Structure 1
Amino acid sequence: MGFHTFDAGRADALEDRSRFRYCSAEELLGAAALAGDDTVVDIGSGTGFYTDVLAGVASEVYAVDVQPAMAAYYREKGVPDPVSLLSADADRLPLAAGAADVAVSTMTYHELPDDALDELARVVRPGGRLVVVDWTAAGEGEDGPPLAERFDAWTTGAAVDAAGFSVRRAESRRETFLLTAVR
């Protein structure tokens, strides 16, 4: 993990609705199994493209990105009421233990620091959920990061299990994978 971060100078590309072909709004919401009173941590939220989807259901969403420029872009775009922006490394979240019902990483797992899963296990309450959608190493590399910077669903699942979660679903698609787990 932790290869690089997305170039904030290209933030407009993250607002392209064609991104939903890799993970639709409905698929993300279904995987997260959100309830109206859930608190969500969106790791690597970027411009808020997927955060906005989560904010339509959850009562509180922490949009976490290591790059202040991404938060500035999101602020300028318009941040929905239930969203709080946090500039932080994913392995040092400014949240209390058990503060979140759900943690989501959408197309950012390959960018996270090595200790991020341990930190998410600290922040997600027992019984809480983790959703990871990312570019798969089993893909063709047509879009997304280079194949050498990607992980597959099974390698990610092993890391998620080692961090204290229990994988419930792991599937590989043409260019992405989807993984859900419970703490």
Structure 2
Amino acid sequence: MIDTDFDAHERSRWAGRAEAYARSFGRLCAYPAGALLDAAGVRTGRRVIDVGTGPGTVAAAALGRGAEVVAVDAEPGMLDAARRAAPGAEVRAAVLPCLPVPSGDFDAAVANFVLNHVGDPAAGVAELRRVVRPGGRVAVTVWPFPQPPLQRLWGAALAAAGVATPPDLPRVAPERDFPRTEAGLAGLLAAAGLAEARCGTLTWAHRTDPEDWWAGPAAGISTIGHVLERQPPATRERVRREYDRLAAPYRQDDGSLALPTAALLASGRVD
């Protein structure tokens, strides 16, 4: 089924879940922050907007570089977390593709794993471009497809537990979607009018406590969390057992997991 309000559904996935996100997915999503800011040319004196700031990780990193930061998100709990993490930033409620800021108001715009959650990614990139002055830069990250091992873990646990992904899960309409590849993401930025659009792949091993990594889905975050919410307790317990079994090869001597993963990082210049 194609949900005509994909964005509203996505926002519902994060409502009231800022703490669980920070414990689980937030730590994963923090990894590309430095490379994202490098790609956007964020440094001392630059004015940057961090769109979909979440708990404020990227905003705090930009402040640490001496930038002037505006951080926006749709979820009140995330905004509260961002205010604590980045007390020098101006934190506002806003969501792509309609940012309540003037055109050309920023030297850079960054969106860390935000286009994954936007029903019209092209409109989202166009809005990021709109708010950046000529000569400024836009930089974004998304998760790639095919999925790396970390992301495949959830689907494998569901399948091993005999749980099928419901066919009615909302998703981006095919005519609005784009290939989650280096070429696909660079092409999305180029189609929005960004010059010198380019994309590369970041790879790393995400170190996490097994309980922390399970905490995100257990709280209903992401697609896996949405699927788990629909299951009876016995089925959720079966999925958890399969998660533990499938994660065992990645367990380190200290009990943590080292899960191989990757992200696409793309950027371009506003002419």
Normalising to structure 1: TM-score of the pair?
0.82
Which of 149, 165, 183 lines up with 1:154 in the alignment?
Answer: 183
CA gap of 1:161–1:169, structure 2 versus 1, over 3 A, is closer
Give me the whole-angstrom Cα distance separating, in 2, the residues matched to 1:88 and 1:98. 17
The answer to whether the Cα contact below 8 Å between 2:51 and 2:71 also exists between their aligned partners in 1 is yes
Partner SS for 2:16: helix
Q: Does 1:101 align with 2:107?
A: yes
Matched, 1:7 2:14: yes
Encode CA deviations 1:108-144: one digit per residue, 9 max, x unaligned: 2211242211211211111110111221113226249
1:31 alignment partner in structure 2: 39
3-state DSSP of counterpart to 2:198? strand
Match of 1:89 among 95, 106, 109: 95
Q: Provide structure 1 residue ranges, at least 5 long, that are not aligned to the other structure.
A: none
Aligned residues: 179
Letter in 2 for 1:107: F
Partners of 1:55 and 1:80 within 8 A in 2? no
Q: Distance in 2 between matches of 1:138 and 1:175?
A: 10
Distance 1:166 1:141 in 2: 33
Q: How far apart, CA to CA, are the structure 1 residues paired with 2:35 and 2:85?
A: 24
- SS of residue matched to 1:96: coil
Normalised TM-score (structure 2): 0.58
SS in 1 for 2:150: coil
Q: Aligned pair in 2 of structure 1 residues 171, 10: CA closer, same or farther (>3 Å)? A: same
List structure 1 runs of 4+ shifted beyond 6 angstroms.
Answer: none
How is 1:13-162 mapped onto 2 (pairs within 5 angstroms)?
A: 13-14=21-22, 18-19=27-28, 22-23=31-32, 25-75=33-83, 77-81=84-88, 83-114=89-120, 115-140=123-148, 142-143=150-151, 151-162=180-191
User: How far, CA to CA, are the matches of 1:108 and 1:175 in structure 2?
Assistant: 16
Distance 1:7 1:141, change over 3 A: farther
- Structure 2 residue ranges without an equivalent (≥5): 1-5, 156-170, 173-178, 203-260
Q: CA deviation at 1:155?
A: 1.6
Q: Which has the higher contact order (CA 8 A, sep 6+)?
A: 2
Q: Which residue of 1 aligns with 2:200?
A: 171
Greater share of helix: 2
Distance, in Å, in 2 between the alignment partners of 1:112 and 1:101 is 23
CA distance in 1, matches of 2:134, 2:80: 33
For the pair shown, the structure with the greater C-alpha radius of gyration is 2
Name the % identity.
Answer: 28
Deviation, 1:58, is 4.1
Residues 94-103 or 170-179, more deviating: 170-179
Q: CA RMSD in A?
A: 2.8
For the 8 Å contact 2:72–2:94, the answer to whether it is kept is yes
Q: Distance in 1 between the 2:146 and 2:30 partners?
A: 17
CA contact (8 A) 1:15 1:47 kept: no
3-state SS of paired residue (1:93): coil
